[in-house]
Amino acid sequence: MMTDRTSPATAGSAQIVHTVALAFLLGAMPALAGEYPCCSEAELEYSNGDVRLAGVVLEPYAEGVFPGAVIIQGSGDSDRSNAWARSIAETIAGEGFAVLLTDKRGSGRSGGDWRTSSFEDLAWDTLAGVEALRRREGVQGNLVGVVGLSQGGKVAPLAATLGRADFVISMVRSVAPMDQARFHALENN
């Protein structure tokens, strides 16, 4: 949806457009909205270069082809066991989406180390998840986006500037400067 995917400067304003676009998308699908009990679960392994990544795909208990969403975890050590991320993933799946609830790099079943990774590394991890979800049977491959939680809200628009994300949602985006947020995560994990 971003017209200029190469310019990180446009990511902030485009983020609002993407959030509004998904809200419209959900509203435009009354046959899907809230009708699906959540959720079946399936493990998904994928990679970003040499880094093995993992997560769990939550899908509505229903027949059909569903749009997809990849959850981008927040700062620190965060994986599929994060109750807040899980509740958001289940809510989105209940709205008729296939949702990849990721284990952040270096967390859960994912390899690598988030402590030594840049935000760009995390954005590429996200895009690897988007592509893995696109290839999954039962997922509408032309409609897979990202949902960034907390610090992941800063990674989400960056991912959209580096590759293809069909929508971007930034939830509870950090207001602290990136260097302070990173220092806090390193000190507290």
Q: Does 38 sit behind a cis peptide bond, omega within 30 degrees of 0 on the bond before it?
A: no
Summarize pLDDT for 148-175 with one digit per residue, the tens.
999 999 999 999 999 999 999 998 665 6
Give the gyration radius of the chain's Cα atoms. Answer: 15
Rounded to two decimals, the pTM is 0.76
Q: d(Cα 139, Cα 67) in Å, to the nearest integer?
A: 6
Tokens of 139: 């997922």
- Of the pLDDT bands very low, low, confident and very high (cuts 50, 70, 90), residue 19 is very low
Residue with tokens 């995917």: 5
